Amino acid sequence: MKKVALVTGGAGFLGSHLCEKLIASDISVIAMDNLLTGSMTNIEHLIGNENFKFVKHDVTEFIHVPGRVDYILHFASPASPIDYLKLPIQTLKVGSLGTHKALGLAKEKGARFLIASTSEVYGDPEIHPQKEDYWGNVNPVGPRGVYDEAKRFAEAMTMGYHRFHNVDTRIVRIFNTYGPRMRLNDGRALPAFVSQALSGEDITVFGDGSQTRSFCYVDDLIDGIYKLLMSNETEPVNIGNPNEITIKQFAEEVIRITGTTSTIIYKDLPQDDPKVRQPDITRARTILNWEPKVDREEGLNRTIDNFKTRI
Ligand code: UDP
């Protein structure tokens, strides 16, 4: 009998790539999504596959899934700064109530549970690069607090179910990720810069662009998450690409690779925007034997090709 995985947020950017990876690994997938930020176009190529089923449901409400479930991967959540500014209550609810419901189902089914956490649990970090044992520097009442605290709560809830109910759990802390199917207008730097470059608009760098990020190509990220799911590691694991770049350099890179005539304009830096971010991936390297393989130039080219078909 094939194993069965439930992917919440299965119609999202990461969720849809994860569904593909699980199906390719001979696991049947139930994708669950309320389509608030996810989209059926991300999974339409999977509809009709006998190992794939889609259920439209809001996971902050009781989740009922008939039959066996071996893995639950909780990926439902708005995940870009613009999204969680627009959807603060939904973001808090899916990280708290949604995680509770998904863990309750995992307990009921005896399923392994993996929570998609985030580098945002480190907030505006005072330790660089960020290791998993760093507790973070988060402003609970700032605009990003709704996401950061929801994910911190989700991690705490996951460990609560692990320790008290013996649920078999995994925590992945996902750093900035990009690739095909990323929403063009989710407000993040990468889709913004690529869309602006391809349509000849100004490239909007926030602040002076000296803040840094480290971008991981989606295939690498999904590979790391799958390895974590199949490992025995119950402590949080950073998955991301440690290759760090300033946002200004990144904008210049997008301009060079696309060959656009667009130029950079500067806008206000959003409140609490982290000044630096780079994953320390020693734990993933050691325990999962994982590290990213796709460099930014190649990943960007693949992403730009995908964006061209959608703009
Ligand atoms: N950013 C930018 N221009 C944009 C969108 C974002 O300069 O049009 C900056 C943003 O202020 C942040 C970095 O790019 O410093 C990465 O932002 P993103 O929204 O991708 O995600 P974050 O890493 O902040 O969660």
Span 127-151, average pLDDT: 97
How confident is the model over 16-71, as pLDDT tens digits? 999 999 999 999 999 999 999 999 999 999 999 999 999 999 999 999 999 999 99
| pLDDT value, residue 72 | 99
| pLDDT value, residue 185 | 87
172 and 79 in a common domain: yes
CB atoms within 10 A of CB 6: 27
Beta strands in 103-168 (DSSP E): 112-118
Q: Nearest 5°: CA angle at 53, between 13 and 40?
A: 40
Confidence of residue 177 (pLDDT cuts 50, 70, 90): very high
User: What is the number of structural domains in the chain?
Assistant: 2
| pLDDT value, residue 231 | 98
208 and 154 in a common domain: no
Span 169-180, average pLDDT: 98
Residue 213 confidence (pLDDT) above 90: yes
How confident is the model over 279-302, as pLDDT tens digits? 999 999 999 999 999 999 999 999
User: Is ligand 1 within 6 A of the CB of residue 266?
Assistant: no
Atom of ligand 1 nearest to the CA of 120: 25
pTM of the complete model? 0.98
163 and 85 in a common domain: yes
- The fraction of the chain above a pLDDT of 70, given in percent, is 100
Beta-sheet strand order (sheet of 3-8): 52-56, 27-33, 3-8, 71-74, 112-118, 169-174, 237-239
Cα–ligand 1 centroid distance for 125 (angstroms): 16
236 and 156 in a common domain: yes
Cα–ligand 1 centroid distance for 67 (angstroms): 42
How far apart are alpha carbons 293 and 299 in whole angstroms?
10
| pLDDT value, residue 73 | 99
| pLDDT value, residue 70 | 98
Range of the domain at 152: 3-178+217-241+279-288
Residue 175 confidence (pLDDT) above 90: yes
98 and 51 in a common domain: yes
In a domain, residue 59? The reply is yes
Known active-site residue 161 = no
In a domain, residue 183? The reply is no
User: Is ligand 1 within 6 A of the CB of residue 123?
Assistant: no
The pair of three-digit structure tokens given for residue 2, joined into one six-digit string: 């094939």
Span 220-228, average pLDDT: 98
Beta strand 52-56 with 27-33 is parallel
| pLDDT value, residue 288 | 98
In a domain, residue 157? The reply is yes
| pLDDT value, residue 204 | 98
19 and 128 in a common domain: yes
Span 83-101, average pLDDT: 97
Torsion (CA) 8, 28, 103, 123 in degrees, nearest 10 = -50
| pLDDT value, residue 311 | 87
249 and 163 in a common domain: no
User: Is ligand 1 within 6 A of the CB of residue 189?
Assistant: yes
